[in-house]
Structure 1
Amino acid sequence: MVSPNAGSKMMIQSYKHNGQLHRIWKNSVVLKGTESIIIGANDRTKVIESDGHSWMTREPAICYFDAKHWFNIIGMLRDDGIHYYCNLSSPFVYDEGAESLKYIDYDLDVKVFPDMTFNLLDEDEYEENKVLMKYPEEIHHILYQQLEVLIHWIRQGKGPFSPGFVDDWYEMYLTYH
């Protein structure tokens, strides 16, 4: 698998299980690109929803994608600390020709606050789409197993939740921006 070069630009595209485009982040900078991990950053970037509606992100964000795990993690730098938004999703695929990172969004999200407390979100949306899009039972088991891994990372301060991770990558982003 090909990976993007640090300093290059990429689009982030999320899809739904049925193949429908869900959301696009237009302009992110690659901070680290390997076959197993891509770390990107953006600030006030345009986001386009599947219905064509667009909006701008409000703060700098460090985006962590892992080819082995069924989640991705967005660390948003806000005045009151780092807030995280975690999507339960397929592992990423990098499309070199389109300069885009792609994944399937599986509805469940975890919102993590600066004090590392967290909430599981969108369980109702997950249950609805699980039936509507016919998620295989295997996907259901993988997602809930990966949710346990994600919660372990949060509680143990691993990966993007480790002290300094988001701040250090944000400093790297500033060298490109």
Structure 2
Amino acid sequence: MEFPETGRTIEIQSYKHNGTLHRIWEETLILKGTSKEIVGGNDRILVHESDGRSWRTREPAICYFHGEKWFNVIGMVRADGIHYYCNLGTPFVWDEEALKYIDYDLDIKIFPDMTYNLLDEDEYKRHKEEMGYPVKIDRKINQAVRELQSWIYQRKGPFDPQFVEQWYERYLFFR
């Protein structure tokens, strides 16, 4: 399988457990694309929701996807520092059409001082019942929450203070 090459613009699609399309992000520029990791950048891109709404992101962002981790991380470059938004979901799949993953509702919002909030626990609980998340999936998601918390505390991967800055500089070079 070929992975998106550096400098290519791709679409990102998230799905729900029942197979329905959840959200589409247009025009993410690939900064690194391997079977293990994909790093992309975007700025003020159009996002389409499954309910027909569309909106535009407000700031530049660096997106991190891992081929074995049950989460992805978006580092948003704002005037007061880097804000992070983490989606709990399956590892990514690349199929030449788009980068795809299943979104499992839970999110972690991280502030520049590295404090964070776990979001959408009620939505996770509701969808777990409605869509019948298997016990194996529930365990994977709970393990991923703990792993993300560990990465945040350790400033590991995309939470390394230099990660977003370095990839954002590279994004600006390509743009």
Give the TM-score taking structure 2 as reference length.
Answer: 0.99
What secondary structure does 1:115 align onto?
coil
Q: Which residue of 1 aligns with 2:81?
A: 81
CA distance in structure 2 between the partners assigned to 1:95 and 1:27 by the alignment? 16
Q: CA deviation at 1:58?
A: 0.3
The letter of the residue matching 2:113 is D
CA distance in structure 2 between the partners assigned to 1:142 and 1:56 by the alignment? 31
Question: Alignment partner for residue 155 of structure 1, among 146, 153, 156?
Answer: 153
What secondary structure does 2:136 align onto?
helix
- Number of positions where the alignment pairs a residue of Structure 1 with one of Structure 2: 175
Equivalences for residues 1-177 of structure 1 within 5 A = 1-96=1-96, 98=97, 100-177=98-175
Q: CA deviation at 1:176?
A: 1.0
CA distance in structure 1 between the partners assigned to 2:125 and 2:38 by the alignment? 29
What secondary structure does 1:51 align onto?
coil
Describe the superposition over 1:18-49 as per-residue Cα deviations: whole angstroms up to 9, x where unpaired. 00000000111000000010000100000000
Identity over aligned pairs, percent: 61
What secondary structure does 2:138 align onto?
helix
Describe the superposition over 1:44-81 as per-residue Cα deviations: whole angstroms up to 9, x where unpaired. 00000001110000000000000110000000000100
Superposition misfits of 4+ residues, deviation over 4 angstroms: none
Give the TM-score taking structure 1 as reference length.
Answer: 0.98
Instruction: Point out where structure 2 has 5 or more consecutive residues left out of the alignment.
Output: none
CA distance in structure 1 between the partners assigned to 2:32 and 2:86 by the alignment? 19
Q: CA deviation at 1:132?
A: 0.5
The letter of the residue matching 1:91 is P
